[in-house]
Amino acid sequence: MAHIAFLETNTTGSGYEAIAAAKRAGHRVTFVTRDIEAYLLPGQLQLDTTLIDDVVGTETNDPDQVVAALRPLLPGLDALISIGEWHMISGAESAHRLGLPGQAPDSVRAARIKSLQREACARAGVPVPAFAVALTPEDAAAAAVAQGFPCIVKPVDYGGSYGVKLCTGAQEVADHSVWLHSVTHNQRDQRMSQEILIEEYLKGPEISLETLTFDGVTRFLAITQKQTVPPPSFYETGHALPAVLEPGLEAECRRIATDALAAIGYVFGAGHIELKLTAEGPKLIEVNCRPAGDRITHLLNRALEVDPTELLIEMYLGTPPDRIPEPARGAAIVFLPSPGGRVVAIEGVERARAVPGVEEVSLYVGPGDVLAPPTNNNDRLGYVTATGPDSTAALAAATVAAESILVKLETEESA
């Protein structure tokens, strides 16, 4: 039995699955957090605290405080793992200073800060969109004019499609940049960079490659087909895997993913690499130095019949991820977007559960809850997962089930 500490987590599945996998394997689990109550709030997946042996409270945004809080556990602490986007840098730096196995802090920082990632990948010859980095709304508008419209404008250090917008003119770029600068801290109270990324707009289907890298060797778990809303926003509405690509195209996508990981010096950890399949060929959207969120790790588990978070934990304990089977089936998830308004009733849930192939129908909200209009990946009221003989069948089942659910909202007449 090992002793594993988790530094915070996301609330979209993979972190909770990793904690469950560690407990299932018989390991002692310590959860390091600045506020465990944040994981028990309504409107999201909730943390099962019965899987946690000990809670260490500290300021997790500060590696100095994390190291001070965990040093008394040495020797005897075997790994410090970060799964969620917001604490990848803090986790890597803390583990390095504690002498624990894990990710190289510089490579994690290069992945987490999109401007650094773009520059490193461009230098290495990885196909990326044309881009520029600006510090002021005026410079952002000028860079967009020089690059051409339409263009993508986004923050360099957020996630979940937050703040990502397609802009068609200089004033729109400037206005959106002003708004980005008005958001000074993210949802974990971390100060955001003032850098603004202006990018070429890429047309084409979006995919992601799910990977595990050990001692510089990258293994591929699957390729995920991603569903997103049309511009000007780009939040995700569903995922299906394994995506089926022509052999030559799949090989090219794998090469780009491998080259992108190498460009940032990534030699250990999970990867979630997003590409656009454009008419000119695949181009990199971004590298994430963590497992995919949005329950994609659960879909991998159902398709591959092996838990990728279990493989990741074994990596931290010194075992390479050699037991990756071929997919046995397809798996998919479809999210229920927030319609915006006060919920009066939710109907059709049992009808959705009865659709052949459906495995989960999960709702975060109920009557009386007030929902914000959808703008990013956090604005959801639940999801449906399904399996099938392939990803197309699984996605079809999940879509039928999701469309069976009716959310009734309070109208002005009934208010």
Q: Do 272 and 240 share a structural domain?
A: yes
| Residue 119 belongs to a domain | no
Task: Assess contact for 344 and 370: CB atoms under 8 A.
Answer: no
Q: State percent of the chain over pLDDT 90.
A: 88
**Burial zone of 297 (CB within 10 Å; 0-12 exposed, 13-18 middle, 19+ buried):** buried
Q: Do 267 and 207 share a structural domain?
A: yes
Structure tokens belonging to residue 116: 């650094």
Q: Do 283 and 231 share a structural domain?
A: yes
pLDDT-derived band at 42, boundaries 50, 70, 90: confident
pLDDT-derived band at 415, boundaries 50, 70, 90: very low
The mean per-residue pLDDT over the stretch 69-81 comes to 98
- The strand pairing partners of 31, in sequence order, are 6, 55
Task: Assess contact for 321 and 363: CB atoms under 8 A.
Answer: no
Q: Do 217 and 186 share a structural domain?
A: no
Q: Do 294 and 208 share a structural domain?
A: yes
| Residue 120 belongs to a domain | no
| Residue 261 belongs to a domain | yes
DSSP calls for 122-166? HHTT-----EEEESSHHHHHHHHHHH-SSEEEEESS--TTTT-EE
Chain mean pLDDT for the chain: 95
Is beta strand 28-33 parallel, antiparallel or unpaired with respect to 131-134? unpaired
Q: Do 39 and 7 share a structural domain?
A: yes
Q: What is the pLDDT of residue 180?
A: 97
pLDDT at 13 over 70: yes
| Residue 367 belongs to a domain | yes
pLDDT at 414 over 60: no
Q: Do 211 and 161 share a structural domain?
A: no
pLDDT-derived band at 412, boundaries 50, 70, 90: very low
CATH code, domain carrying 26: 3.40.50.20
Q: Do 196 and 150 share a structural domain?
A: yes
| Residue 321 belongs to a domain | no
**pLDDT tens figures, 296-340:** 999 999 999 999 999 999 999 999 999 899 999 999 999 998 888
Structure tokens belonging to residue 137: 């709304």
| Residue 125 belongs to a domain | no
Domain extent, residue 172, equals: 130-200
Structure tokens belonging to residue 401: 């089930």
DSSP calls for 231-284? TT---EEEEEES----HHHHHHHHHHHHHHHHHTT--SEEEEEEEEEETTEEEE
DSSP calls for 64-112? HHHHHHHGGG-SS--EEE--SGGGHHHHHHHHHHHT-S---HHHHHHHH
Structure tokens belonging to residue 272: 């979630």
* Total domains in the fold of the chain: 4
Q: What is the pLDDT of residue 201?
A: 97
Q: Do 308 and 209 share a structural domain?
A: yes
CATH code, domain carrying 184: 3.30.1490.20
CATH code, domain carrying 216: 3.30.470.20
- Residue that wins the pLDDT comparison between 410 and 220: 220
| Residue 109 belongs to a domain | no
pLDDT at 380 over 70: yes
Which residue, 294, 316, 338, sits at the end of a domain? 316
- The strand pairing partners of 159, in sequence order, are none
pLDDT-derived band at 359, boundaries 50, 70, 90: very high
Q: Give the Cα separation of 210 and 292 in Å (integer).
A: 7
Which residue, 316, 340, 356, sits at the end of a domain? 316
Which residue, 183, 200, 217, sits at the end of a domain? 200
DSSP 8-state secondary structure symbol assigned to residue 51: G
Task: Assess contact for 156 and 195: CB atoms under 8 A.
Answer: yes
Q: Tell me the residue type at 304.
A: L
Task: Assess contact for 338 and 373: CB atoms under 8 A.
Answer: yes
pLDDT at 12 over 90: no
Q: Do 403 and 344 share a structural domain?
A: yes
Task: Assess contact for 102 and 71: CB atoms under 8 A.
Answer: no
pLDDT at 192 over 90: yes
Q: Do 192 and 154 share a structural domain?
A: yes
Residues in contact with 339: Cβ distance below 8 Å, sequence separation at least 6, in sequence order: 371, 373, 374, 381, 407, 409
Rounded to two decimals, what is the model's pTM? 0.95
CATH code, domain carrying 388: 3.90.1170.50
Q: Do 360 and 307 share a structural domain?
A: no
| Residue 145 belongs to a domain | yes
